């Protein structure tokens, strides 16, 4: 595999992000400061987190989100907690922020406390939905996924690598299968994907899981030598899917 989708490039990006001499303990994003722990994905080295905030209408330029409901939010892969905390500050009343990396869960809790919303943001160490027991349904389930496809037999060497690649798209398959079952009535599942990943493969998995993927927002950015298109997809059961107009941003 060559080019922007080569998983080896993403592994190298992961390695560099960990060992940079200028990697900070605190960074600024969207007019706020955020704690950054070692071994946690650093949003400052990729445009993806800011794109997520824009997709979800959580930037300073948007007063009301047309995408994210202001009730309850389940975020998969919370990292530093920028999205979860910003959603709480924007009005989400209950936010569960999960990550397979325990350092990321702690990082999210630190940033929830930093910004005064520890009562609305709860961190949970979980591999996707495994640790969610007895939870009510959510108005929104969101995952900014590790969309780069690695070989099925690749074993991530660090928790940090797991934020970059998904071997065999095993996690994506589980997410597509299980996420709709975590919704409250009228809720929606949203997936942030990109062309660093294998979009046709994702659609094949969705078809096999009985899911439909509807692109609701998209944007193209330059990432180093590559142009990468980021996609916000809504995941719905195929039998219940009704086509909605795509919003191109």
Contact 171, 123 (CB under 8 A): no
* Distance of alpha carbon 134 from alpha carbon 246, whole angstroms: 35
* Distance of alpha carbon 90 from alpha carbon 5, whole angstroms: 34
* Distance of alpha carbon 150 from alpha carbon 205, whole angstroms: 15
- Sorting pLDDT into bands at 50, 70 and 90, what band is 247? very low
pTM score, two decimals? 0.91
Region 75-93 average pLDDT: 97
Region 217-242 average pLDDT: 87
* Distance of alpha carbon 242 from alpha carbon 214, whole angstroms: 9
Does 240 have pLDDT greater than 80? Answer: no
* Distance of alpha carbon 28 from alpha carbon 5, whole angstroms: 29
Region 43-53 average pLDDT: 96
Does 138 have pLDDT greater than 90? Answer: yes
Average per-residue pLDDT for the chain: 92
> Span 3-240: which CATH code?
3.40.50.150
Does 36 have pLDDT greater than 60? Answer: yes
Contact 214, 243 (CB under 8 A): yes
pLDDT of 2: 54
């Amino acid at each position: 595999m060559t080019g922007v989708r080569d998983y080896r490039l993403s592994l190298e990006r992961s390695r560099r992000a960990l060992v940079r001499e200028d990697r900070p303990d605190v960074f600024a994003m969207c007019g706020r400061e955020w704690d950054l722990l070692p071994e946690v994905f650093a949003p400052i080295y990729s445009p993806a987190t800011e794109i997520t905030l824009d997709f979800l209408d959580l930037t300073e330029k948007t007063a009301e989100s047309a995408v994210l409901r202001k009730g309850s939010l389940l975020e998969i892969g919370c990292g530093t907690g920028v999205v979860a905390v910003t959603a709480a500050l924007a009005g989400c009343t209950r936010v569960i922020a999960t990550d397979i990396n325990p350092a990321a869960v702690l990082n999210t809790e630190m940033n929830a406390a930093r910004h005064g919303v520890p009562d609305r943001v709860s961190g949970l160490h979980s591999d996707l939905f495994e640790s969610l027991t007895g939870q009510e349904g959510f108005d929104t389930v969101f995952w900014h996924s590790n969309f780069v496809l690695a070989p099925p037999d690749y074993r991530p060497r660090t928790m940090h690598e797991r934020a970059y690649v998904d071997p065999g798209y095993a996690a994506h398959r589980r997410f597509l299968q299980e996420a709709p079952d975590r919704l409250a009535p009228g809720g929606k599942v949203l997936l942030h994907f990109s062309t660093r990943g294998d979009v046709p493969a994702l659609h094949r998995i969705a078809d096999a899981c009985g899911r439909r993927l509807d692109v609701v927002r998209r944007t193209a950015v330059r990432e180093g030598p590559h142009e990468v298109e980021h996609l916000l997809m809504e995941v719905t059961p195929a039998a219940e899917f009704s086509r909605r107009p795509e919003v191109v941003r």
